[in-house]
């Protein structure tokens, strides 16, 4: 797979902020569900490393994360203020995603099940990159899948609101037409999990290379602070 344009910007930001390029960071920019366009030139600002190279505690980049204004899966308008006060894990995906999205959410649930008893899982949000099909009703049914996190909440909105939210997280996505397919199209998107702290600041992120065990270990360490 090739990297999506905005996703490529994240790679340049992160790699430059570390002592050496990391396979983990390269993997973080792989897009899900279909090939995406080649990386563009490095025009993004540099992020500052928090000092722990290539570890889950060294991925807190201030350029990633920001305000959102979306509709949850019961039809209510929500913003980042709705979720402040507790850590929040965010994933950008969509209900028609055939593999990467459901596998990621199953992996998150497995990670939560391995947390120490004294650690409460973070709030968990699925922000749809396919607002045309992912209505609140569609998301409400999707998030109830038995192997997904029990506290998973789906968010959608107008195309403009969804794009604005994705841009705040430097998360890219695009529509890929599939002629002859029942679904008609799919979505090419960045596949990252973002952990926001109680103040809606990025605490760390996870890639598709993270296992339930590595996610659980990192959450256990960060949420115990």
Residue 5 tokens, joined: 């344009």
Sign, CA torsion 218/223/224/225: positive
Please indicate if the annotation marks 101 as binding a ligand: yes
Residue 128 to residue 185: CA distance in whole angstroms: 15
Quote the DSSP letter at residue 99: S
CA dihedral defined by 27, 31, 36, 42, rounded to 10 degrees?
A: -50
Residue 205 to residue 192: CA distance in whole angstroms: 7
Which distant-in-sequence residues (6+ apart) come within 8 Å of 190 by Cβ? 4, 6, 7, 10, 29, 31, 32, 92, 170, 171, 172, 173
Which residues make up each annotated binding site for Cu cation? 97, 101, 189
Which residues make up each annotated binding site? 97, 101, 189
């Amino acid at each position: 797979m090739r990297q999506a344009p905005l996703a490529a910007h994240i790679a340049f930001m992160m790699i430059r902020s570390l002592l050496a390029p990391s396979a983990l960071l390269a993997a973080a920019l792989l897009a899900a569900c279909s090939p995406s366009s080649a990386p563009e030139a490095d025009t993004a600002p540099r992020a500052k490393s928090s000092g722990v190279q290539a570890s889950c505690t060294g991925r807190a980049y201030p350029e990633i994360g920001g305000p959102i204004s979306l509709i949850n899966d019961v039809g209510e308008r929500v913003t980042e203020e709705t979720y402040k006060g507790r850590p929040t894990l965010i994933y950008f995906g969509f209900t028609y995603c055939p593999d990467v999205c459901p596998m990621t959410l199953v992996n998150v649930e497995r990670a939560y099940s391995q947390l120490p008893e004294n650690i409460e899982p973070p709030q968990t949000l699925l922000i749809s990159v396919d607002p045309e099909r992912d209505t609140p009703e569609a998301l409400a049914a999707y998030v109830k899948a038995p192997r997904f996190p029990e506290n998973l909440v789906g968010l959608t909105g107008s195309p403009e609101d969804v794009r604005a939210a994705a841009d705040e997280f430097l998360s890219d996505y695009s529509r890929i037409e599939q002629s002859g397919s029942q679904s008609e199209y799919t979505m090419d998107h960045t596949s990252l999990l973002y952990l926001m702290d109680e103040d809606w600041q990025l605490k760390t992120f996870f890639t598709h290379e993270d296992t339930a065990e590595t996610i659980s270990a990192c959450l256990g360490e960060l949420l115990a602070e």
